[in-house]
Chain A
Amino acid sequence: MKKRGRGIAAAYYGTGYGNGFPDVSRARAEISKDGNIFIYIGATEVGQGAKTIFCQITAEILGVETQDIHFVCEDTSQTPDAGTAAASRQTYNSGNAVKKAAESLSQRLMEQAQNHLQLNSVHGLKLENHWVYLEDFPKKRVHFKELVKEDTLIVEETFTAQTVKMDEETGEGAPYWPYTFCCYGVEVEVDTETGEIHVIHGVCAQDVGKAINPELIEGQIEGGFAMGLGYGLMENIGLSKGEIKHNRFANYLIPTALDVPELEKIIVEDPSSTGPFGAKGIGEPVMIPAAPAILNAIYDAIGIRFYEIPVTPERVLVAIKDAQKEGKE
């Protein structure tokens, strides 16, 4: 018999290294003599889309298109350190460093434009399409190239996250800043004759502060949900007397595209006061509620609580049989 059930799970997650640990990102912004914009940052792209959003942040501040940014990352001989692509910290930490560097570069451009255009102040100057111009009198304008004829313009900025070590005695403190919140709901179908579990629907609500790139966020949610589904239902290293038996993807199973349901994704925006444009990191949080929501849904479907994952067909059938025995006794 196939039984359906629904479950939800919520999570909150502290961004960054936390607990008073120095969490520092550095970024360098340049305008070369030919007027090209460069960003150098040691942040690593691991598929999460860091390269894309750092270009977006820079482009937003300098009034250009993202494809106008020459972006250099990962190469430690060329880039300042921006810490690890870990702890869901790159959007928040390195995003802030990139934003600071771009803002600093913008300020320098405006100062040079003030001189060049013989203005009294930088007030009212705008950047657009590689031009600096006076908003009230747009004829007063100068191209980036003019401003860097003599020297490449280089600025470097650092962002250090604010985190407070917890008191070891009392556990008090403010170990992370900011936190992200998420809540997933799933519907499952459990085949009580074979133990198979089919996740048929999922709804994922994720607080992101501010979505710098909504499509990348949706992609990250899809991936996180798939990982969580595998974690809850499939992934098993098969540890036996210290030996990992499932040492290949032939026997260490992760979900295929057919195992992951259509997901409804809800991006919740509540800008963070310290994030770049209000953004927070969601790299890891998107995975967290999937497995507990699925396990709650299984409980709703068949009335059995699982305290061990993965919940494989084998475990489901054995648990159903045990429950029947108990019922009879």
Chain B
Amino acid sequence: MITKCIRPSNLEEALEQLNQQGYDGKLIAGGTDLVIEIKHHPYEKSTLIDISRLKELRFIEIGETEICIGAGTRFSDIVNHPEMKGICAGLWEACSSVGSPQIRNAGTIGGNICNGSPAADSVPPLLALDAQVIIKDTTKTRTMPLKDFYIDKGKVAIEANELLYAIKFRKPKKDEYITFEKLGLRKALAIARLSCAVFISLGDGDKIEDIRIATGAMGAYPQREEALEKLLIGEVFDAPLIEMSTQEIFNIAKQRLGSRSSAVFKCEAIQGLFGKALRRAAKEAKSYDFHQFNS
């Protein structure tokens, strides 16, 4: 049961506290998931370490080649940022689709990542951007790919004394684009039943130089669909390729979801979601007339 709440005044103090509390300490930022968890279930940890006011964790840095976002950055910060929509449409779309304005004002991108929900909205686009997570403890800073950060449902590769500091990824260039599609059961305050992000880099003659595909709520955690990516890299983007790739994602979903009651629906729906995300990404990456792919 939570009996104590500590609010460190800077990052160093927060890491110190996390180190001292060990397993009893739990970080809280926006609290949009954690508070519900604490209220509804017996909670084993005793101390909350409130990092919601740490300025060091709340930043969006857009460099020449790289974008770095502090873990304590609110969804609203991203949604209201003047450049994010233009540079990383898919990430912006995902952050815009989180909960409601109130939840976006409180919830943080770091919380979304660390909570480990298979339906976390911001994670598929970050995976498709091939993001790296930057993790700190009192003595060191380490970096790892986000795709390796997920272990299982609700489980991420972070130690009790560690804190997710920021997330970074290469800034998309010309001829590159990222999209996000989400299937929720209503237009706001909806948990993703299924989501999909596609990053595409198109070269001359519509050759797919690079593509990264990530799905949400299609398995125990959000994941990269690397098998599918391999089939598409180097190919020419055309209608038969779209057909082949949607069929392939159906096969992947079918295998992964097995006999789950939602499988029939999700296997159908992921084709539609992925198809949309893919067509739109390609259309935006190359701004010529792409209507032939939009049925």
Contacts and interface: CB of A to CB of B under 8 A. Distances in A.
Contacts of B183: 194, 196, 313
Interface string B10-40: 0000000000000000000000000010000
A201 to B, nearest CB: 15
Nearest to A192: B272
B265 A318 contact: yes
B118 interface: no
B31 to A, nearest CB: 15
A1 B295 contact: yes
B185 A195 contact: no
A249 to B, nearest CB: 9
Interface of A: 1, 191-196, 234, 250, 253, 255-259, 312-314, 317-318, 320-321
A317 B193 CA distance: 14
A193 B186 contact: no
When A and B form their complex, which 4 residue pairs have the shortest distance between CB atoms, in order from nearest? A193-B272, A258-B187, A314-B265, A256-B188
Given A313-B183, A314-B262, A318-B264, A193 B271 contact: yes
A313 B186 contact: no
Given A193-B271, A195-B265, A253 B186 contact: yes
Given A1-B295, A193-B276, A194-B273, A317 B268 contact: yes
A1 B269 CA distance: 12
9 contacts: A194-B269, A250-B191, A255-B186, A257-B188, A258-B187, A313-B183, A314-B265, A318-B268, A320-B268
B259 to A, nearest CB: 15
B249 to A, nearest CB: 12
- For B100, B272, B276, the residue with the greatest tally of chain A CB atoms inside 10 Å of its CB is B272
B189 interface: yes
A220 to B, nearest CB: 22
A1 B293 CA distance: 12
Contacts of B36: 250
A253 B185 contact: yes
- For A234, A258, A312, A320, the residue with the greatest tally of chain B CB atoms inside 10 Å of its CB is A258
Nearest to A248: B40
Nearest to A314: B265
Contacts of B189: 256
B124 interface: no
Interface of B: 36, 100, 183, 185-191, 193, 262, 264-265, 268-269, 271-273, 275-276, 295
B264 A191 contact: no
A256 B186 contact: yes
A193 B278 CA distance: 14
B264 A193 contact: no
Contacts of B273: 193-194
Contacts, number: 55
Contact of A191 (B188, B190, B265, B272): B272
Contacts of B269: 193-195, 313, 317
A320 B264 CA distance: 12
A259 B265 contact: no
Nearest to A236: B185
B34 to A, nearest CB: 15
Contacts of A321: 264, 268
Contacts of B275: 193
Nearest to B270: A194
A318 B36 CA distance: 33
Nearest to A195: B269
- For B183, B186, B188, the residue with the greatest tally of chain A CB atoms inside 10 Å of its CB is B186
A271 B234 CA distance: 73
A259 B189 CA distance: 11
A11 B265 CA distance: 34
Contacts of B276: 193
B260 to A, nearest CB: 12
A213 to B, nearest CB: 30
B185 A317 contact: no
Contacts of A194: 183, 269, 272-273
Given A258-B186, A317-B268, 11 more contacts: A193-B275, A193-B276, A195-B268, A195-B269, A196-B183, A253-B190, A256-B186, A256-B189, A258-B187, A259-B188, A313-B185
A327 B264 CA distance: 19
A258 B265 contact: no
Contacts of A312: 185
Nearest to B269: A194
Contacts of A314: 193, 262, 265
A256 B265 CA distance: 24
Nearest to B186: A259
A47 to B, nearest CB: 21
A196 B193 CA distance: 11
Contacts of B190: 253
A313 B193 contact: yes
Nearest to B193: A313
Contacts of B185: 234, 253, 312-313
